Structure 1
Amino acid sequence: MSDSHSITFEPVNIDMEVGEDEKILDAAFRQGIHLMHGCREGQCSACKSYILEGDIQMERYSTFACNDSEVEEGYVLLCRAHAFSDCTIELLNFDEDELLNSAPLQEIETEVIELVEHTHDIVGLKLRFVEPSSYDFKAGQYADLIIPGTEDHRSFSMATTPTTSGHVEFLIKKYPGGKFSELLEDGIDVGDRIHLHGPYGNFTLKNGHVLPIVLIGGGAGMAPVLALLRHMSETGDTRKVRFYYGARTVGDLFYLDEIRTLGEKLQDFEFVACLSESADGADELGLTSESGMVTKVVEAREPDLHKAEVYLCGPPPMVDAALEMAAQQGVPNDQVFYDKFESPLAAE
């Protein structure tokens, strides 16, 4: 049993305990303190904070996320940080409404109840909660799924909302040579057990916000966007919503019928398929479509993007391009929400 120390977060005046053998970010999740985070692997800077007092050491991290001069000044990545004394830490990036308003980290044994091929490289995976039989999360968050027989995990966004009874749905992109991809091809089946850890992520609708919403997705980034749409439909959200989904061709689109149905329940909704290679067949499906990369389409169609909340989820290059486009359009940082997952092969 490792020694335990007290952490005080400023300027929010929140206290918690952390063991020397656990990372500060993980300890916060365990105690229901929802700190801002991204990759959780020391590769981004979403959890970067400043040490006001105390002895903190970091595991291996990317100097692109926190360079040597920043470390010398006292900056730290909480996802890689261990405390070896009582500490006071200044949070540089936080949402005060979310800090104590999220579920603590949970570990759940689940059972596979459905596997569906949505496209040539997107698989739908539904898991039933076994022990415990319920799971507390917010629409738009993600979870870690443990690869059976290993301690490795992969992070996937959830497409379901908390009102879904007894199960959760993931939309997973298959990568050649990926460990989880191999399971989806020929490694797991209905009835198999998978351990889930979660929830994580800040890709959630904020209570009381009234700005229009622009959703930008691609690939498996459909999952959290679909969760938000389902949630808005369930709650009668009255905001203007535009959903731009980037794909190569019409064959890469899925869940079109449900998106149409959800949109009919919203007051002002439009779905735009952004097709980078070919728009053939879009008219036959009754789709509003544009040719080109999704970020270019959004830039052209949303001149007032700075007056909206922007939600991004998809392949890292798409998210990076969308973040750059949003910055150029003058969208304030506190109006942009995203989850960006690296290819599984980056961790193998």
Structure 2
Amino acid sequence: MADSHKISFEPVNLEMDVHEDENILDAAFRHGIHLMHGCREGRCSACKSYVLDGEIQMENYSTFACNDAEVDEGFVLLCRSHAFSDCTIELLNFDEDELLGGVPIQDVRTRVVAVDPMTRDIVSLRLTPIEPEKFEFKPGQYADLHIPGTEEHRSFSMATTQSNTDEVEFLIKKYPGGKFSALLDGRLAVGDELSLTGPYGSFTLKEGHVLPVVCIGGGAGMAPILSLLRHMNQSENTRPVRFYYGARTADDLFYLDEIQQLGKGLTDFRFVACLSESADGSVPGSVTVEQGMVTDVVARHEAAIGKTEVYLCGPPPMVDAALALLDSSSVPKDQIFYDSFTSPLFS
């Protein structure tokens, strides 16, 4: 058994033990402490924190997420940090309501009930939990799907909500040569079993908040946003909602009918399909289509975006462009929510 040390978190006055062979973020999950996190791969900065006291070492992280100067000052990424003494850590980004209110991490055995192509490169994978019989998560979160016969996994967001107790849907983008993508090209069949671990992520609708919601998505980033919209519809949430979805062409759009139907149960809902390459193609007349990058379309329509909460999910370049737009628009960071994924590592 590896040596164990005590971690004290400030300014929230929480303590836990951590083994030297586990990272601090995973130890927090084990204790039911829901720290802010994103990719869990050392490639984003969602879990960046500051070491006030103690010995911590990081491994296998990106200097874009935590550069050398920050490391020298004492900043760390908790998903890549191991403690080798008792430590005191200052959390820089946290939600007091979720710290001890997160859904516990579960290992779930599931069975495939459907593998349906949605576009030329996005597939709907539907799973039903076997053991346990229900997978608990919050709308907008994601899970690790384990690749059979390996120790590898890939992370994908759930598109469903907790009302779908017998089925969990993932919208997955296929990448050429991707290990999980290969499963979706005929190797994974209805009736096969898959294991998942989760839920993870902080891309969740904040209870009690009243600001209008702006969703910006692209590609398989449709999944967590669809989960949020389904949840808001089911819970009769009255916050105004706008959804901007970026795709290349009309052939890359999907779930348009359901989005329009969900919008009928939402307050002041508007959906705009943003096509970067061509606006030609068959799209229902009730769907608003604009040519251009999704961030350019958002900039044209959302002059008061600083007075909204913004939920982002899509390819890393889209998320980076959206974050730059929000920064230039002076949107407070505590009004921006996203989980960072890297591709094709997650393909």
Q: 1:259-274 maps to which residues of 2 (within 5 A)?
A: 259-274=259-274
2:81 maps to what in 1?
81
Identity %: 68
Query: TM-score, normalised to structure 1's length?
Result: 0.97
Q: Distance in 2 between matches of 1:44 and 1:267?
A: 33
2:40 maps to what in 1?
40
* Cα-to-partner distance string for 1:182-216 (whole Å, 9 max, x where unaligned): 11002211111111010111110001100000001
Q: Distance in 2 between matches of 1:284 and 1:322?
A: 27
Asked if 1:7 is matched to 2:7, the reply is: yes
The AA in structure 2 aligned to 1:7 is I
Aligned length: 347
1:51 maps to what in 2?
51
2:72 maps to what in 1?
72
1:201 maps to what in 2?
201
Unpaired runs of 5+ residues, structure 1, are none
* Cα-to-partner distance string for 1:261-320 (whole Å, 9 max, x where unaligned): 110011210111101112123565431111101000000011000000000000000000
The AA in structure 2 aligned to 1:93 is N
The AA in structure 2 aligned to 1:333 is K
Q: Distance in 1 between matches of 2:267 and 2:49?
A: 40
The AA in structure 2 aligned to 1:125 is L
* Cα-to-partner distance string for 1:202-255 (whole Å, 9 max, x where unaligned): 110001100000001000000000000000001111011000000111111111
Contact kept in structure 1, 2:23 and 2:80, CA below 8 Å: yes
Contact kept in structure 2, 1:282 and 1:288, CA below 8 Å: no
Contact kept in structure 2, 1:49 and 1:77, CA below 8 Å: yes
Q: 1:279-294 maps to which residues of 2 (within 5 A)?
A: 279-281=279-281, 284-294=284-294
Q: 1:150-165 maps to which residues of 2 (within 5 A)?
A: 150-165=150-165
TM-aligned CA deviation for residue 96 of structure 1: 1.2
Indicate the larger mover: 111-120 or 50-59: 50-59
The AA in structure 2 aligned to 1:29 is F
Q: Distance in 2 between matches of 1:64 and 1:119?
A: 33
The AA in structure 2 aligned to 1:141 is Q
Indicate the larger mover: 281-290 or 292-301: 281-290
Q: Distance in 2 between matches of 1:28 and 1:284?
A: 47
Contact kept in structure 2, 1:9 and 1:90, CA below 8 Å: yes
Asked if 1:305 is matched to 2:305, the reply is: yes
Asked if 1:130 is matched to 2:135, the reply is: no
Q: Distance in 1 between matches of 2:330 and 2:52?
A: 32
Secondary structure of residue in 2 paired with 1:57: strand
Contact kept in structure 1, 2:127 and 2:167, CA below 8 Å: yes
Secondary structure of residue in 2 paired with 1:139: coil
2:217 maps to what in 1?
217
The AA in structure 1 aligned to 2:204 is T
Secondary structure of residue in 2 paired with 1:161: coil
* Cα-to-partner distance string for 1:31-54 (whole Å, 9 max, x where unaligned): 221111122111122111111122
Contact kept in structure 2, 1:218 and 1:246, CA below 8 Å: yes
* Cα-to-partner distance string for 1:159-191 (whole Å, 9 max, x where unaligned): 011121122110000011111111100221111
2:336 maps to what in 1?
336
Q: Distance in 1 between matches of 2:146 and 2:304?
A: 42
2:118 maps to what in 1?
118
Unpaired runs of 5+ residues, structure 2, are none
Q: Distance in 2 between matches of 1:10 and 1:201?
A: 21
**Structure 1 residues 297 and 282: CA distance shift in structure 2, 3 A:** farther
The AA in structure 2 aligned to 1:257 is D
The AA in structure 2 aligned to 1:293 is M
TM-aligned CA deviation for residue 69 of structure 1: 2.6
**Structure 1 residues 125 and 283: CA distance shift in structure 2, 3 A:** closer
